[in-house]
Structure 1
Amino acid sequence: MRRPPVSAPHGVNGSNRTKARRIAAGLTCLAACLVLAACTGAPGPPGTSPAVAGTSPGAAVGNPAVTAPAVPAPTVQERLELQLDTPWAAVFLPDGTAIISERGTALLKAVRDGKATTLGEVPDVVPGGEGGLLGLALSPHFDADRVLYAYMTTQEDNRVVMITVGSSADGSLTLGQPQTVFSGIPKAGTHNGGRIRFGPDGFLYVGTGDAQRREQPQDPGALGGKILRLSPDGSPAPGNPFGNAVYSLGHRNVQGLAWDESGRLWASEFGPDVDDELNLILPGANYGWPDVTGAPHRAGFQDAKVVWPSTRESSPSGLEILGGIAYLGALRGERLWAVPLHGTEAGSPVAYFTGEYGRIRDVIRTPNGGLWLLTNNQNPDFALVLRPSP
């Protein structure tokens, strides 16, 4: 669901092309910085945020005609100073304990009563760039099997492993040895994907990135630039549209996965230097990368339901849906986006906490119906506890 490539520099419309050619040499020295910012949501140099012709810079484009629930203003109940190092994902165990992954250290942390302790280091993780210890998901039968799934970068690839979470005599948690469930997902310094979640159908959904292999997202036989759908043992889930693990294709770098109350799957995705996206995911659908981005209304491609033309305002990462509202953490945008949903459409996004807490990596539903936000700033990082909606 992307915008067609254009010959002018990103964010330059027809009326500005002459000027763009004059300043092309100056932009060259910024290219490396812009590429990194587009991939990771890192802050870029001032004045480099692109705009899409006909759209105000930074304006998120949803469907203004959508009749959707009003967005309740979230409020912060507590800030947990957990002394985290690049946290990436979190899950809550049935007893309310949170387990958090740290991308750069490959550590799993447990949080009880507002205090974080180290469970252990996941072996064979090779951090680097956007790779490391990334997404987490609990088995749908955790009470019985005690299995935690993790997405990790190794020396060779990105892969999904399962780890048994046990208990010692004093009640503290223990970790078993990881067992590989699914391997061979391409890795790179950027665009590693990493979000994993079990859907309401009991299958494991895996968001991958193109790993800078731009030929992969349009190839239904390749694993890069996809959403995968797996059985808990790692085999392709029955009913997948291409007869393999692939569920949808044409993705650049999937960062968030969540289901609405009707069981529809939504995903957040990094754009390049334009067109961050919130997508409604359909089996077998093509979301366009690298041929198009955003919502260009091109035959054969699915349009994004929300497009942020300026990555400076978003770089959407973790995603949660609660009460008909999609909540997205923004990295470069340093805010929480709230998007009202109505059926298969999304309304206009509303921003909260802009610049107050820095980069927001993940949004997690808590057992009591509230939300946690994980930050990714200069270490140490922390968690914000948002009050449940009334």
Structure 2
Amino acid sequence: MPRRTAALLVAIALGSAAAVGCSSAAAPDRAAGLSSEAGAPDAPASVPAPVVSTSTAPAPTASASTEAPTPSPSSAPAAASVAVRGTVTDGLESPWGLAVLPGGDLLVSERDSARILRVSAKDGGRTVAGTVPGVTSGGEGGLLGLALSPDFATDHRVYAYFSTGSDNRIARLDLDPSRPAGSQLGAPTVLLSGIPHGPRHNGGRIAFGPDGFLYAGTGDANDRSLAQDRDSLGGKVLRLTRDGDPAPGNPFPGSPVWSLGHRNVQGLAWDPQGRLWASEFGQDTWDELNLITPGGNYGWPTVEGVAGRAGFADPVAQWHTADASPSGIAFASGAVWVAALRGTRLWRVPLDGDRAAGAPQEFLRGEYGRLRTVAADGDGTLLLVTDNTDGRGSPRPGDDRILRLDVNGG
């Protein structure tokens, strides 16, 4: 059994878990292989109480300081708080990726329009940097994740993950802010193509790790057999050089695959010790937060959630699918923070090294609808991107928006 089996993660009761996991309005869709983004996300009052560990965290308000029940005699989560400082910008259309530029301005990708916008840190004003050519939107595909070169201050390079009519790709673009708005992006240089594409499960998150290599989370493109196929780029975490080649030290020689057995990786983040964490959509029962190790097999489609089966790595935290659909993640204040789409809330998972230090805690439940991306902007500050205009949410006045949060880990 992997070392991350979790006394913290044993469900309250198998019967209760099955009832909650299969009784949501979206259960028939999920059984058919649809993403856990589906369902009726903007009715939080009807969402069942989360079953995430041996005890259930309360639902704190946006700025209240709370402490979750003790999940075991030896580990209690620290008190934590979340306060919404304000709105950075609003009026976005299907925002997906986010990158913080030197100086504090933001780049944000719009999935369906294929535009990359620059958002002023001073007043939230937006300009169109440019539109990425060759992007095909539809379903869960389009212009997805963004990442800045580790040497962005000198090379001005932006990396993007996007869908075409036949595959998903990772490309590099030069950004020249001295050029007129709308034409600040250079032509894309495709670094990696052939990532499986489908109407659902396209992955899309990219990020540079502390080792200087580019990591990408991919999905199984609704073909679950791809996740266990080492020769496929689907259902994987990939590790690449800045030019798109397999990074040296990868576990499978000549392959960009860093880990396998994933259904749809949506978030990537590193803790201060350099450990990689990833969020993943489940299907019928469990969404996951995983600690990613080189060559690790995370079980899909053989297992979902904590299984305790030899050869498969168990998640460090898990949620019933009605409570999460975990998308972007970020590390701040001693915890991984998880933006939930269908769950319409922000989750905090306190960590003690490579394990959960207590039950996940929820914030902002139902207050801003679907939450797509979260990014650290200083240890006690998070940027949170809503996603209510993508056809699955119920847009509210001002949607979609980027919020600035102050978080305290206790």
> Shorter-chain-normalised TM-score: which range?
0.7 to 0.9
Give the deviation of 1:33 after TM superposition. 7.0
Cα gap change, 1:345 to 1:364, in 2 (>3 Å)? same
Match of 1:4 in 2: none
Deviations 1:256-308 (A, max 9, x none): 00000100000000000211000000100100000001111001100000011
Q: CA deviation at 1:215?
A: 1.1
Gaps of at least 5 residues in structure 1 are 2-11
Distance in 1 of aligned mates of 2:85 and 2:53: 39
When residues 201 and 91 of structure 1 are mapped into structure 2, their CA distance, relative to the original with a 3 A threshold, is same
1:118-129 pair list within 5 angstroms: 118-129=128-139
1:194–1:298 distance in 2 versus 1, CA, 3 Å: same
Structure 1 residue 212, shift from structure 2 partner: 1.0
Q: Is the 8 A contact 1:317 1:328 kept in 2?
A: yes
Structure 2 residue aligned with 1:176: 186
Q: Greater shift after overlay, 32-41 or 131-140?
A: 32-41
Letter paired with 2:317 = V
3-state SS in 2 of match to 1:140: coil
Give SS of 1:73's match. Answer: strand
Structure 2 vs 1, CA of residues 29 and 87 (structure 1 numbering), >3 Å: closer, same or farther? closer
Q: Report the CA distance shift for 1:61/1:67 in structure 2 as closer, same or farther (over 3 A).
A: closer
SS at match of 2:154: helix
Determine the C-alpha separation between the residues in 1 that align with 2:148 and 2:291: 23
Paired position in structure 1 for 2:201: 191
Q: Which residue of 1 aligns with 2:116?
A: 108
Instruction: Summarize the Cα distance change of 1:87–1:170 in structure 2 as closer, same or farther, 3 Å threshold.
Output: closer
Residues 1:62 and 1:234: Cα distance change in structure 2 (over 3 Å): farther
What corresponds to 1:336 in structure 2?
A: 346
1:387 maps onto 2:381 in alignment: no
Summarize the alignment of residues 166-315 of structure 1 with structure 2, pairs less than 5 Å apart. Answer: 166-168=176-178, 174-243=184-253, 244-308=255-319, 310-315=320-325
Contact 1:151 1:196 in 2 (8 A): yes
CA contact (8 A) 2:329 2:374 kept: yes
1:333-372 equivalence runs, <5 A: 333-346=343-356, 347-366=358-377, 369-372=380-383
The TM-score normalised by the length of structure 2 is 0.82
Question: 1:165 touches 1:173 (CA, 8 Å); kept in 2?
Answer: no
User: Could you tell me which residue of structure 2 aligns to residue 99 of structure 1?
Assistant: 107
Q: What secondary structure, in the 3-state scheme, does the structure 2 residue paired with 1:312 have?
A: helix
Q: Distance in 2 between matches of 1:194 and 1:208?
A: 6
Q: CA, structure 1 residues 232+31, in 2 after alignment: closer, same or farther (shift >3 Å)?
A: same
* Contact 1:62 1:305 (C-alpha < 8 Å) held by counterparts: no
Query: Structure 2: how far apart are the matches of 1:306 and 1:285?
Result: 17
Give 5+ residue unaligned stretches, structure 2: 2-12, 59-67, 390-394
Q: Quote how far apart the aligned CAs of 1:63 are.
A: 7.0
- Report the TM-score when normalising by structure 1: 0.86
Relative to structure 1, the CA distance from residue 353 to residue 222 in structure 2 (aligned partners, 3 Å threshold; closer, same or farther) is same
Contact persistence 2:128–2:181 (CA under 8 A): no
Shift in Å, 1:82: 2.0
Mapped to 2, the partners of 1:299 and 1:257 lie a distance apart of 25
CA shift, 1:51, in A, is 9.3
Q: 1:40 aligns with which of 37, 42, 49?
A: 37
Distance 2:326 2:379 in 1: 25
Q: Distance in 1 between matches of 2:125 and 2:292?
A: 37
The Cα RMSD (Å) is 3.5
